[in-house]
Amino acid sequence: MNKGLLSGARALDLTDETGFVCGKVLTELGIDVIKVERPGGDASRMIPPFHQDIPGVERSLYWKAFNTGKRGITLGIENPRGTEVFRDLVSRVDFVMESFEPGYLERIGLGYEALRAINPKLVVISITPFGQVGPYSHYKGSELIAIAMSGVLNNTGDPDRPPVKESLDSGLFHAGIAGALGGVMAYYHALMSGEGQQVDVSVQEVAASRLTSSILAWDMERVSLTRDGHKSQMGPTSTDWFWECKDGHLFWHMLGGAFGAPANKALSDWMDEYLEENPLREVTDWMKFDKAGIPQEQWDRFADAIRPFFLRFTKDEIREQSLKRGTNATVANDPHDLLESEQLRSRGYWTRLEDPVLGSLEFPKYFFQSRDTENFSLTAAPQVGADNEVVFRDELGLSTEKIDELRSANAI
């Protein structure tokens, strides 16, 4: 197997948690991604949870999760001596990723135009809560703040409680991947034309991009879709998506026509084995069943029978029966289920990475697979300044005296 698709390319990653995932995608493509942190390590190293619950710059599991595969240096880019070294680095790389407040890099003389003057082919990927320009561009953000503004938060939660956030940092994760996509497109363009550019990503906009159904409902019919608990409103009727079982939760969704017929019938037949009264029997031909046309009252009767039915079974029983019967019910996994998943194991998804502090833990190895190239995370996230010597001395050719000078000026 050959190295990752973009091996040979180089990148500097100055992001905080807003942009970690972008650099992680690039490093898995084989790009040499160097995390550039302020001397002592970035503040984002103190995001919980921590290894063995003991806080420390080398112990953040959040930081370690999304910085695998990267190398690490420390450099005070505001420090005049540090600026000089940074400019030298910029002349040697293909990408710079950053998530500073818009305007900060300009203020210290390292804005996009200044970087372009150093390296015209450079791709600068900027990932911020609201984007580089516009009336909210200087607003302070976070995962919660950006998704609140995107419309995503409003669509999530039980109707009788406030809107509720989704999973961990879904918006930042999505924005990181959007940044990587814009970044590789810009890199391809630079390869073909010699022209670099800036990629501007707004977490708010990336999250809003998921809302096609809400956008259409408002734009076409002035209908506001609201949060619907564990259900999903696909058309006029709101139908249940997620259900409780004995020891967890599962996804089962009724689809119409040929798509849904086998699974609908399989569930109905399964229910028949246990229930005297089974409202799903009202449907005689599932192939002709029009899910979009089901009245709310009929669906509610179905759901009232399905809900206690699923509660009879454990997660393992649901998994087993779903495969056997084709009901297409899917158990909601917890982290340990994921680590044990035969599907993920058989594909080599988990990889053990050795970290001097964390020891040996299992991490996801890839975002996608290729037959011909290895697009993998191969090393644990870097310790603070782990690659200072190699990068400053061996790659930039700085003398020991010069490095000492930078150190005493607190630039590294």
Residues 94-133 that bind another protein (CB under 8 A): 112, 130-131, 133
387 vs 24: CA distance, rounded Å: 17
Out of 121, 249, 325, 407, name the contact with another protein by CB under 8 A: 249
Out of 154, 237, 321, 383, name the contact with another protein by CB under 8 A: 154
Choose one: 99-107, 340-348, 382-390, 399-407; the region binding another protein (CB under 8 A): 340-348
290: Cβ–Cβ under 8 A, 6 or more apart, which residues? 256, 257
Is 254 one of the binding residues for another protein (CB under 8 A)?
no
Is 167 one of the binding residues for another protein (CB under 8 A)?
yes
| Count of chain residues binding another protein (CB under 8 A) | 151
Closest CA to 203 of 157, 139, 108: 139
Out of 276, 372, 397, 401, name the contact with another protein by CB under 8 A: 372
Is 76 one of the binding residues for another protein (CB under 8 A)?
no
200: Cβ–Cβ under 8 A, 6 or more apart, which residues? 126, 131, 132, 133
Closer to another protein by Cβ: residue 333 or 410: 333
Is 379 one of the binding residues for another protein (CB under 8 A)?
no
31 vs 9: CA distance, rounded Å: 5
Out of 157, 378, 379, 393, name the contact with another protein by CB under 8 A: 157
Minimal distance, residue 238 CB to another protein, in Å? 10
Out of 86, 243, 302, 376, name the contact with another protein by CB under 8 A: 243
What are the phi and psi torsion angles at 124 (to 5°)? Answer: -105, 120
Closest CA to 354 of 376, 374, 378: 378
DSSP class per residue in 107-130: HTT-SHHHHHHH-TT-EEEEEESS
Asked if 125 contacts 197 with a C-beta cutoff of 8 angstroms, the reply is no
Is 153 one of the binding residues for another protein (CB under 8 A)?
yes
Largest distance between two CA atoms of the chain: 86
Is 408 one of the binding residues for another protein (CB under 8 A)?
no
- Binding flags for another protein, 15-34, as an x/- string (CB under 8 A): ------x---x---x-----
- Strands in 248-251's sheet, in edge-to-edge order, are 242-245, 248-251, 330-331
123 vs 12: CA distance, rounded Å: 11
Is 328 one of the binding residues for another protein (CB under 8 A)?
yes
> Interface residues for another protein in 209-238 (CB under 8 A)?
209-221, 223-235
